[in-house]
Amino acid sequence: MSARLRPAVFLDRDGTLMDEVDYCRDPRDVRAIPGAAARLARLRAAGYATVIITNQSGLGRGIISPAQYEAVQAELLRQLDGQIDATYFAPDAPPDVTPRRKPGTGMIDEAVRDLDLRLDGSWFIGDKAIDIACGRNAGLRTILVRTGYGADLADTGATVVAGDVTEALDWILGRGAA
Ligand SMILES: [Mg+2]
C-alpha cells in the first residue's frame, strides 16, 4: 500500500448533500444542505477525498435527460464551492442493473482506481438503506443521515446515525486522523 493513497468520504447526493427532490432535473430545485461546503473543505484539508456516489435511475428511465443531469450536478457543485473531488453516477434503471448501481460497489471501485484511494479509514454517508448496504459491501464504516429518506428509517446497521450531513462530517472530523 502506497503512502500516497488517500482515505475518502463517499457521499450519496439526493437527500444527503442536497434536499431530496424526486428525479431532480431542474437546477432551480437544487438546495445544498447548509454548512456542507465548509465541512467538505475541512475534510479535504485533513487529507480526505470527497466523492459523490449517486444512483440516477431517472436517466435510464428517460425521466432525466443527460443535459438536465449535468445542469443539476453543476448547480450542486457550485453551491458546494467545488469541494467535491469526483462524482460517479449510475444511470441503471431496475430491474436492468449492473454492479455499478448501489448497493453494488462498482462506482466505489472506479473511484478507488481513478483517485488512488484506500478503503481503510474511509466512510460512506447516505440517507437510504441502499447507501448503508453499499458502504458495508465495500467494507466501509457508514453514517446514516436523517434527511431525505433517512428521516423515518429503522436501524440499517449504520456505524453512526447523524441528523444531517454536517453532523456526519463533524463526526468524522472529530475523530482526528483517519
Ligand atoms: Mg439519497
Would you say domain 8-174 falls under CATH 2.40.160.10? no
Residue 4's pLDDT is what? 82
In the chain, at which residue ranges do the beta strands (DSSP E only) sit?
8-11, 49-55, 86-90, 123-126, 141-145, 160-162
Round the CA-based radius of gyration of the chain to a whole number and report it.
15
How many Å lie between the centroid of ligand 1 and the Cα of residue 13?
Answer: 6
For 95-138, write each residue's pLDDT tens digit. 999 999 999 999 999 999 999 999 999 999 999 999 999 999 99
Q: Indicate if 14 belongs to the active site.
A: yes
Residues near ion ligand 1 (Cβ under 5 Å): 12, 14-15, 127
How many Å lie between the centroid of ligand 1 and the Cα of residue 127?
Answer: 5
Residue type, 36: A
How many Å lie between the centroid of ligand 1 and the Cα of residue 150?
Answer: 8
How many Å lie between the centroid of ligand 1 and the Cα of residue 113?
Answer: 24
Q: Is the pLDDT of residue 3 over 90?
A: no
Q: Indicate if 12 belongs to the active site.
A: yes
For 19-78, write each residue's pLDDT tens digit. 999 999 999 999 999 999 999 999 999 999 999 999 999 999 999 999 999 999 999 999
At 177, the pLDDT band (50, 70, 90 cuts) reads low
